Amino acid sequence: MFEIPKYQASRDVHPSPNKRFKFEPPLAYILDSDEWQQGDRVVRAGEVIATKSWPHSSFRALNYSAAQVLQFFNERQKSRLPIAPWRGNRIVLDDGLSGTPPLQGTLRPNLPTAPVPARPINVSVGR
């Protein structure tokens, strides 16, 4: 079992006024830099918080799991991330672009090449 990530807020952050955002993948861009999309309450500067959600980018990691999640969150394309980094009882850091590319023929099977079309021939019709 993994430890729950713990962070310290470096500044005051507040939850998004749009409650549905909490249940969506991270937004690529937020106009209010003090808005925490995954937050459910105001978090004051210096406060320690443990969460299984994505952190605010200004949080400071207090344990190893928080450091890994925060680094992944700040380096990856936000719109490709899942709703939360926590699945079941473990952290899964995957943006769909990680890992090795699929083997040739996995996404598109190796089909035989198309036959060369026959050349038309002129046929003269007698009258």
- What are the boundaries of each domain within the chain? 6-90
pTM: 0.70
* Percent of the chain that is helix, strand, coil (3-state, to 5): 15, 15, 70
Distances (CA, A) of 71 to 60, 66, 74, 112, 127: 10, 8, 5, 45, 83
With 60 as the cut, is the pLDDT of residue 19 above it? Answer: yes
- For residue 6, what pLDDT is reported? 95
| Residue range 64-119, pLDDT digits in tens | 999 999 998 888 888 888 888 888 888 888 777 766 665 655 555 566 666 667 77
Tokens describing residue 61 = 């990691």
